[in-house]
Amino acid sequence: MRPQGAAALAGIVAVGVAIAVGELAAGLVAAIPSPVDAIGQTLIPRFPGSVTSWAIDTFGVANRAVLTSGIVLVALLIGAYAGTAGRRHLATPVLLFGGFAALGVLTSQGQPGAAVVPVTLGLGVAAAAGLVLLRWILARVDEDAARALADARDTQEPGTSSSTAPSTDGTVVTVPRRTVVATAGVAALGAVVAGSFGRWVLGGGVTAEPSELSLPRPQSSLPPVTPAVDASGRIEGLSPILTPTDRFFRIDTALSVPRVDPSTWSLRVSGMVDRPLELSLEDLLAEPMSEIDATIACVSNPVGGDLIGTARWLGTPLADLLDRAGVQDAATQIVGRSVDGWTAGFPTELAFDGRDAIVAIAMNGEPLPARHGFPARLIVPGLFGYVSATKWLQEIELTTWEGFDAYWVPRGWAKEGPVKTGARIDVPRLGERLPAGEVVVAGVAWAPIRGIRGVEVRVDDGPFQPAELIEPLSDQTWVQWTATVAVPQGDRSLQVRAIDGDGVVQPQGPRPPAPDGAEGWHRRSIRVGD
């Protein structure tokens, strides 16, 4: 291995170790955010809305992993440069590693729970660990290079000009691979273990387990969902009427789950109210609780997509909290603010129009998981999440419609975000091969608040046929549907459309998700016969 290549590898491993130590520190100390995530969280608001939409459309729920991987890759490439430059001038890697640490400290200050002293110490130790390792490996590389050069000169034939001796610029002299590979391998393995442990701890998101929370008994509860109500047990592949929590979609701007200490967390109701409120978690749990079934969706959900789900939520009615606070007449917007600063806003009147808007503390019979908003989040049926579903809720602020634009509005998304009527084919699967004849088609349809009056399916571009609707849990949830259609042999397509409770047929589309939600009849291709 030539010295410059060995130095580049050393720089890559050293940066990897520095990142791993930073992630480990973040996992062990609540006041230290992940440096990688802190940089990412600083970048995300600066991306144009079109870039963010492209990332969600392209990578789906993996968009966070893509961003963090990109940040790490750039850091490793800079590490390669630091390694090669460090053979000539030690000041270069010192400046680069110090710059990384300073950037981490600066970006961390915008993260919830961050404290300057622990962050500075933690990232300082991380940078120092990387520098010490880099310097140690480079010293070994230089020693081996010098030894190789001396050996080459000793073996020169008598009378050979010294000008033909191998040089130390990396073009002739090589160093034993074991010097770098063994050290780099051990260091890389240690970095993977330490970094992975730190990320694993960060993935928990909280300083106390949500499962330890004792849920209050609701004043109004719903009957259990039985197999007679849920057709997914009879039709394999059909989405269940209640989406299991571990399969529920997650779309938000948090690269790592915010770390919320339930013992110090509180919820404020502020702004244009007569009596501002501040509730601890204990206070919130003492409020009257109701169970609701509601379907929520992400505005980025494409036609036929899975960024939508239905859950049974437990929480206190939002209208009750607002009535206690005394909403002023001029307050025309409700803004939910997360512990990480993310915001969503919707018209005040929607909290009082009869829909079951709640401050939710539980999901499907269990305390809210950290990734879904522990300790509390807003659920407002009939609205896309980007204007309503604030997770890790910290504040409910009353303001005017014109006085504030929530997070996604300046990025090109519509200020109002009612969920559009939609339908999806779950069965048969995409590209599935089926025998000719009658085919069972099934899926879900939704128009929260308005409800679903009917669903129709067709084969290719033939006439639409009515589907059978399974009784929905409420007008706030999706409805399962099923139909049996005759399908001729060959490559065929199935298409579905829904009619909402007002009798309005779902638009044919297609329209992309931006700026206020996708529109279009879902189509699925299948192959029938041999």
Q: Angle 63-86/35-43 helices, nearest 10 degrees? A: 110
Single pTM value for the model:
0.80
Instruction: State yes or no: pLDDT of 208 exceeds 60.
Output: no
Residue ranges of domains in the chain, CATH in brackets: 3-204 (no CATH), 231-411 (3.90.420.10), 422-528 (2.60.40.650)
Looking at every residue in the chain, the average pLDDT score rounds to 88
pLDDT of 167 reads 47
pLDDT of 195 reads 67
Instruction: State yes or no: pLDDT of 243 exceeds 80.
Output: yes
Residues 353, 73: Cα–Cα separation, whole Å: 50
Residues 360, 312: Cα–Cα separation, whole Å: 10
Instruction: Select the more confidently predicted residue: 118 or 51.
Output: 118
Of the candidates 500, 490, 479, the one whose C-alpha atom is nearest the C-alpha of residue 529 is 490
Residues 510, 498: Cα–Cα separation, whole Å: 15
When pLDDT is averaged across residues 142-159 and rounded to a whole number, the result is: 67
- Cα separations in angstroms, 244 against 180, 359, 366: 48, 20, 11
| pLDDT tens sequence across 363-418 | 999 999 999 999 999 999 999 999 999 999 999 999 999 999 999 999 889 999 99
Residues 255, 235: Cα–Cα separation, whole Å: 36
* Collapsed DSSP state (helix, strand, coil) of residue 319: helix
What the block records as the tokens of 262 is: 């339930």
Instruction: State yes or no: pLDDT of 91 exceeds 70.
Output: yes
pLDDT band of 165, cuts 50, 70, 90: very low
The alpha carbon of 308 is separated from its chain's Cα centroid by a whole number of angstroms, namely: 14
pLDDT band of 173, cuts 50, 70, 90: low
When pLDDT is averaged across residues 425-441 and rounded to a whole number, the result is: 92
Q: Angle 3-28/35-43 helices, nearest 10 degrees? A: 90
pLDDT of 180 reads 61
- Counting every residue, how long is the chain? 530
When pLDDT is averaged across residues 473-484 and rounded to a whole number, the result is: 97
Residues 518, 413: Cα–Cα separation, whole Å: 12
What the block records as the tokens of 235 is: 């039709």
